[in-house]
Structures are given as C-alpha cells and as structure tokens.
Structure 1
Amino acid sequence: MSTGMKRYKEMNKCIKSIFLGVIGILSMSMSMTSCGGGLMPQPPQLVMYGDMDGYVFMPYGSSATRIANDVIATKPAKDAVVSATCGDTVKSAATNADGYFYIQKLPVASCLVEISLNGFTKVPYQISVTTNQTVRVGGAQGTTMTPITHGVIRVTSNVAGGVIVLDGELTDVIMPSDLYCDFPYVQPGNHTIGITKEGFESVSPVEVEVLSGSIASVEIRMTPIGNRPPVANAGAGGKWLAGYKHENYRWDGDVVVYDLIPISYALDGSASSDLDGDELTYIWEQVEGPIIEIKDMTSSIATFTPIEAGVYKFNLRVNDRYHDSVSDDIDVEIAKIGGKIVYTSTLYQKSSDIFKVNADGTGFERLTTDDAFDGWPRWSPDGTQIVYFSNRDGNAEIYKMNADGSGQTRLTDNAAYDGVPDWCADNKIYFTSDRDGNKEIYSMNSDGSNQQRLTVNTRKDTGVACSADASKLLYMRVYGGDNYEVMIMDTDGGNEARLTDDTKVHSFVNWTPDGRILYTTADSLGGEDKLYVMNADGTNKQIWNVPAGENDIEDAVMTDDGNFIFYVKDLFIHVMYSDGSANLNLGVYGAVLDYHPGP
C-alpha cells in the first residue's frame, strides 16, 4: 500500500473515534488531536440546556398568618419579575395571573435567581439547572413575597369557622377555635376586615389603619340568624356589713388564736338568662360608692369586700357570644357598726370567762382568766365598766371591773346566790338573789351599798333588764317547769304587772330604743326560740321579722340606734339588720351578750 493511502485510512479512523467520543460525553471541549502524528482542528462546542419555573405569592392585604398553625395565607402575585443569571446568560420572565412563571433554555449551570415585586423585599435563590429538566424555584410551596414595611392586623371574633375577608377578598384563612388570628405582613395603610359564615348575619367590613411595626386590632362579632339578646339580672338590692368575722379557733400553746377574715358580699347574677339557651359570660363593674376591688368579676357570682359604710352601686352585663345584654344595676347598702360587745364564753374550756370584742369583729380580748364561772356581763351606762357574776369565791356573787378587765371588785358577799345583774342609767345595779330563800329581784348602788329587795313572792324572778330612762324593770317569773312569763315593774318595785300569760317559755327579755320589749318564746325549755316584740304594756305582740332560715334566736340585743340586733345562735354571735333584711354570723364563740355604742 502506498504511503498516501495509508495516511488516508489512519485519518478516517481517527475522525470516527472523535465523533464516537462526542456522542458518549454530554459536554466537552475538544483539544487538538494528533492522528498518526498530525494535528486536527477543534470541533464545535456543545452546550446543554434546562428550564425553570415556579409560583410567586403575595400576602392578602400584604400577608396573613394563622398563629395557630403558622400557615401563611396568600394570593398569586401577578407581574412579579423573575430574573435568572446563568454565567453569561441572563433571562427573565413575569408572573401571570396565577403567579406562575416559566423560563426556558437556560444553560446547565449554577444560576442566580432573583424575584422582585414593587414594594416587596427582593428574594434571591441559587439554583442548579439540570439538562433537559425543569427546576421548580421555591419548591412545592412557591415563593412568598414580604413587604418592605409592614404591620400586623390582629382579628378576633366570637365564632370559629368564619372565613376572613381582607380588603374585599376572601382569604383562605378560617377563624380558628381560639378565636383570633394574626395577619403579620400587612402593608401600612388603610385596610378593611370582614368575616363571613353560613347561617350567620352578614357583618359590615371594619376599616383599620395599619402602621409599620405595630399591631392593629379588630374585633368582629358574628350573630346567628334569628338569635336573641340575653337578659342580665344582677339580683335584688341588698344590705350588708363592713367589718370582720372570726374563723378557725385553735390553740397556740395555752392561748386560743383565730383568723380574722374581712367580711365580703356576694353579687349574684345567676338569674340572668338567654332565650336561645346560649352559654353566658358575665362582667361586673362598680359604678358608684367607695372604691373596692371586685373578685371574680367575670363570673355569675362575684364578691367584694367593703371597707366603709355607704351605698355601693354595681352594673352587670352578660353576653351569649353574640350580643351584649342591656345592663342591670344593683345597689348594696353597707353599714359599719360602731360600739362594742361583752359576752360570756367557754372558749378556754376550763372555765366560763368574760370577753369583749368590737362590733365590727376587731379588738377581741379575754377579760377574766380564773378557773371559775364568770358570766352575764353588762355594760355600765358610760361603757367604762362591766358588772357580772362569778362563783370564783365559792358561790355566785356580783362583781364589777373596768372595761379592760382591770379592777375586778366583789360587790355582794353572802352565802346565797347573787347573779344575772344589769347596770341601769340611774347608776344602780339590779340583780337576782335567793338570800331570802327564793330568787327575787334586788337593787344596790354601783359600789355594792344599799342592797334592797324589790319583789316578794313565792315564785322565782330572774333575768332583769332596765329601761333606758331607768324607770322600768323587765324580768322573768317562773310559774312552772315550762312556764316563764315576762314581768314589768318600776325600778323601786312598784306597779308590777304580768305581760305574757300563755304557759310558754318567754325569756331573753330586753328593751328596744323606742321603749318596746324584745323577747323570745318557746313551747318548752330547750325548744326552738322565736323572737317577738310587744309594747311596754304587753299589747300588740307579734313575731319579729328575721332573715329567712334564721330560728332559735337567743340573747337578742338591739343597738342604740335601732338599726341592728345582735343575737346568739348555736353558741355563736350573729348580727342582723333590725328589719330582717340581712344577717351575718360573726364567728365569735359566745353567749349572754350585751352591747354598748362606745367608746
């Protein structure tokens, strides 16, 4: 074979090899190839291509986010510009009405993609273009644009499940069960918010101004079609007291201690109603009177602790989730009782002692501390001293002491019984004694001198009570086992008269400030005592009006202003308004009490 023919065959073989290599490689640059020692020219460069697409979204109004699950609610962003830079190749496209863009024939390479929209922050991506593939920019969720400046719209409602309308457009945001949602990327400016839900009345859009970096709150209330407003009922007006009550008596070593609890009043709106059976919420508000704190002000029953006398006025509104009710008002008249109480108590168990406490529950003090019986304390007219009886010296005798417990002095001294005294405005002390063989009423000066017998009969007389003007004495006369009658006479023992006559147990006699007589009546000793009143001549007997549920009242003592009655029930001291409108257990353990207006 000639040399020329041999070179031609070698060159032809080399060319075939080169084209086979091009087919097996996606993209490569051909260098000069030596075939049989000769050089070949570089063949044309082959460039491979791919595509990219994606969706761009913009927030409603600017943006909406449901905080409950952190899902951004958006709409397609039309006319957003998407620019792709792949080496020396730069291509761009605009999004259509669906927010979609598609860029074709981008060289296979790492490309910088930027998405921009007027008023929004530019969003960059670094995308790798793959041969003959379409790359989705932003992934399956697409790209959401964020306004350069933005604020937040917080929408609250009374109903879950409604679709939120922002700037006239239905969003895909549904009001969640926690009844609020935030739209956190809203462009500054004025926007409108509404909610729509099937079966509910339409609601006019609410206009709200959004400021950059701030939260604009909007409340939208939805009402079922045909739903009726609820009715608030704050209850009847009432009377109550300012002060303290005792609770939880207990031993601290050899001393009895207790908890002093402020007296509170319950505002009761539980009679409020809703014709549609909707669940109600409550809001109490004070509108007049000394300023106080309302506890549980969003409950049907709220409480407050009055600190001074006055009329406290409150307003109750209820809501059924759809309507506010018309408000209902209530007046509460609060009194703060002045004065002081002295009484007998076995609080220390070893003995019966004399105690005192202020009428408002403060100032609790034990006055006698011996191991004997000390009882039936009564104030002196000026409130500086107390008369009582005690068996500390072996038998019952009359004693007196200062109001602070000092200066305890024995006034009677004999082997007989001397007890149940009263200190009268004429500065004399009247008491019961059996020193002459039968219990009779006696008198003496406040220093114990001039002791005189006032009644003379074969029956027992006891429980004396002196009128405010020191002209009359009330007492009880025992006519038989279950027959105690109320008696009256002048303080000198004259003009004795029987005021009751019905073979019952009449006891705990006392005077009212207007000169009438308070007393209790029971069918038998140990029976239930009911409180009665009558005139000083025994006429016009009638049962006293007491609060509902109150019975078995003992030791009733009316305050000097006639407004209140202290009494004993179940060995605790209570107080009630004289008209029977309200009563309170003061929690003070004691009996046989007496009241003085103070000081």
Structure 2
Amino acid sequence: MKYLFFFVLVSIIFVSGCTQTQTSQWEIQGRTDHRDGIFIMDLDGSNIRQIHGSDLHLSEAVPSPDGKMIAFTEQEGRTLDDIHNSEIAVVNIDGTGYRKLTGNDWVDVQPRWSADGREIMFLSTGGKQAGTDIYVMDLEGNILRQLTDTVGISEGDLDWKCGKVVHTRYHSIWMMDDDGSNQIEITDPPGRGTDVGVQFPLGDYDPNFSPDCSKVAFERLTGTGKTVGQTSLGDYDLYVYDISSGTETDISQNGDGDLLPEWSPNNKILFVHLTDNRDDLYDIFVINPDGSGRRKVTGDDPLNFVEAGCAWLGDSVLFTGEFFE
C-alpha cells in the first residue's frame, strides 16, 4: 500500500525545498479545481485527460477488463491515521456514474477486477483491530467471500489474474488460487523485515502478473537509497519472477526507487520512479521485462504535481495524481 508512503514522502520533499529545473507546458483536458484526480494519457506522455476529480485523496485506480469503468481508493484526510477513512469507489471512463462501493469505518483499499468485470477483490480490516485481509465483493458492494483470515498481520499489494492471486505477506510475495486455497510463498528476500530507516522494512512488495501469468513483477527494497534532506527514499529494484523455474531477475539496479510495476498486454512494464532529482521524482517510466528499453513516460509536469500510481488502459496510461499548494 505504497500510496500512504507516497503522500507522506511527497509532503516531506516539498517542505524540504526540492526544486524542479524545467518550465512546465503541461495541459490537462477537462481539468477541474480539485486537488486529486484520475487521468489518462498516451504512452508518449501527451494527450492528458482528467476523468474524475476530488478533494479526497485518490489512489490505486484500475480499469475494468472492458475498459468502461474504473475502480479506485478514496480517502478522507491526508495523514497515515486517515487510512481508516478509506473506501472503494467506481466511476465510468467518461467521468459519469461515480459511486462508492464501501462505506464503513474499516480500511478498504486496493481494488482489483475479476476477469469478467463482475467482482472486485480488495483489502479490508473487516472490523479487526489490526491487519488487513483479502475480500471479494460484487459491484453493489456486497461481500461475496473472504479469502484470508490472518491474525495480527496485513495482507497487501494485490493482483488477480488467471484464477490466481499474488499479494504481499511478511514482506515477501505469496501466491494462491482465487478461492483462497493453495497459499504458497514464492520469494524469500534477504534481510526481510529489517528496519533500515525507510518507510518500509527490507522486503518484496507490489507483485503484478504478466499477461499470461507465467511471471510476476515486483519491487524489492534492498537499502536506504538516496536522500532528500534527512529523508531516505529507499533503494527499490524491479524484479521479474518466473513461476515455472522459480528464478528471479533484477531488471533495474540503479540505486533509485522503482515502484508499483504494472504489466501491459503488449509485454511492457510501467512503474513509478523515486530519486533525488526532482525532474524525475514520481514520474512514470516504462521498461521491458528484460530490463531494456527503459524510458520516462511523463515529463514536463508542473512542480506542484505528482503521479502516485499507474495502470494500463489499452495502449494508454491510467494514473492518479495530486496537486500541492
């Protein structure tokens, strides 16, 4: 659930006076005066359109399989404590039909669509004092089933494809069938759980299936990385795990933070980049699964705007973003 980390870290960076050298010529079609928004752009970073705007904190926007709807997380308040005011909502791709699917005092985050677009998997505390579990609901918000029931820990970082689910538990990647059976741990990161002064302990996070579900992309936190002021950004490398062979490959290895991988139908991986260079900070990049072809997708964005998560919508890029004062 890196969106919480994003908000806190962005606030620190802006306070620290980190500056951007370029002059922005950004234009957003349909831009409203809201602080947060859900946007679409072409893969070359052009033709940016706003789908939905809100003064709530928006994150984790994902399109339905037919591309007609978007599910996302919205949160009242902008501190870590306000995660208990987070809900799942949907909106049509043309910006109409907004509605909440959840409405309670629980943590409800990170929606993922079923292959037929009739169900949404998500993380929720479900009334527990601590820890999130994996649930599935219909498009009216009715809970259909609970897949995990952990005690004192949190499931996290979902993806759901091919009848399988990958997620984070104990700072490593786990996989199971989408009825909750056959739960197995597929990665064993060195030093997992070790606190190195970054927002998260050492470990593996944010798994995402390849289109044929034969591989899983994820990020591994391996160290403190670069710093802005007194804040360590974290050294997150992108990895690709081959399910059949059990091998994993580091495809970034750059000392910066590469986060939130999203695998496209045309076999490319989007991710969000963290670095001490403001011109590239929180920009969206694309890379091939073998580590080649790395390039920035967003750029020339204004100083007070950050992208905080991305997904594929056909050949276009869907992302959430936030304007700071």
Which bracket does the TM-score occupy, shorter chain normalised?
0.5 to 0.7
Aligned equivalent of 2:282: 529
* Counterpart code for 1:468: P
* Counterpart code for 1:374: D
1:212-267: CA deviations, max 9, x gaps?
xxxxxxxxxxxxxxxxxxxxxxxxxxx997xx777679xxxxxxxxxxxxxxxxxx
Structure 1 position 556 matched with structure 2 position 310: yes
Residue among 398, 407, 422 paired with 2:134: 398
1:347 Cα offset (Å): 3.7
Normalising to structure 2: TM-score of the pair?
0.66
Aligned equivalent of 1:440: 172
1:510 Cα offset (Å): 0.8
Aligned equivalent of 2:68: 339
Residue among 210, 232, 246 paired with 1:494: 246
| Alpha-carbon distance in 1 for matches of 2:32, 2:144 | 28
Please tell me the root mean square deviation across aligned C-alpha atoms, in Å. Answer: 2.9
1:565 Cα offset (Å): 1.4
| Alpha-carbon distance in 1 for matches of 2:145, 2:115 | 18
1:376 Cα offset (Å): 1.3
Question: Does the CA-based 8 Å contact 1:466-1:472 persist in structure 2?
Answer: yes
Aligned equivalent of 1:52: none
Aligned equivalent of 1:457: 189
For the pair shown, the structure with the greater C-alpha radius of gyration is: 1
| Alpha-carbon distance in 2 for matches of 1:248, 1:547 | 20
Distance 1:338 1:463, change over 3 A: closer
Distance 1:565 1:546, change over 3 A: farther
Count of residues in correspondence between the two structures: 238
Question: Does the CA-based 8 Å contact 1:505-1:525 persist in structure 2?
Answer: no
* Counterpart code for 1:558: W
Secondary structure (helix, strand or coil) at the match of 2:189 reads coil
* More strand per residue: 1
Distance 1:571 1:403, change over 3 A: farther
Distance 1:548 1:414, change over 3 A: closer
1:362 Cα offset (Å): 0.9
Aligned equivalent of 2:270: 518
Aligned equivalent of 1:470: 213
1:457 Cα offset (Å): 2.6
* Counterpart code for 2:308: E
| Alpha-carbon distance in 1 for matches of 2:164, 2:241 | 15
Structure 1 position 541 matched with structure 2 position 314: no
Aligned equivalent of 1:369: 103
| Alpha-carbon distance in 1 for matches of 2:260, 2:277 | 13
Normalising to structure 1: TM-score of the pair?
0.37
Counting only pairs closer than 5 Å after superposition, residues 7-18 of structure 1 correspond to structure 2 as none
Secondary structure (helix, strand or coil) at the match of 1:552 reads strand
* Counterpart code for 2:306: D
1:404 Cα offset (Å): 2.5
* Identity in percent: 27
* Counterpart code for 2:219: M
| Alpha-carbon distance in 2 for matches of 1:396, 1:571 | 29
Distance 1:570 1:409, change over 3 A: same
| Alpha-carbon distance in 1 for matches of 2:34, 2:144 | 30
1:496 Cα offset (Å): 0.8
Aligned equivalent of 2:17: none
* Counterpart code for 1:346: Q
Residue among 386, 391, 394 paired with 2:120: 386
Distance 1:449 1:358, change over 3 A: same
1:524 Cα offset (Å): 5.4
Tell which has more relative contact order, 1 or 2 (C-alpha 8 A, sep 6+).
2
| Alpha-carbon distance in 2 for matches of 1:571, 1:397 | 31
1:94-118: CA deviations, max 9, x gaps?
xxxxxxxxxxxxxxxxxxxxxxxxx
Distance 1:545 1:396, change over 3 A: closer
* Counterpart code for 1:520: V
Aligned equivalent of 1:170: none
| Alpha-carbon distance in 2 for matches of 1:486, 1:383 | 28
Question: Does the CA-based 8 Å contact 2:283-2:298 persist in structure 1?
Answer: no
| Alpha-carbon distance in 1 for matches of 2:122, 2:323 | 19
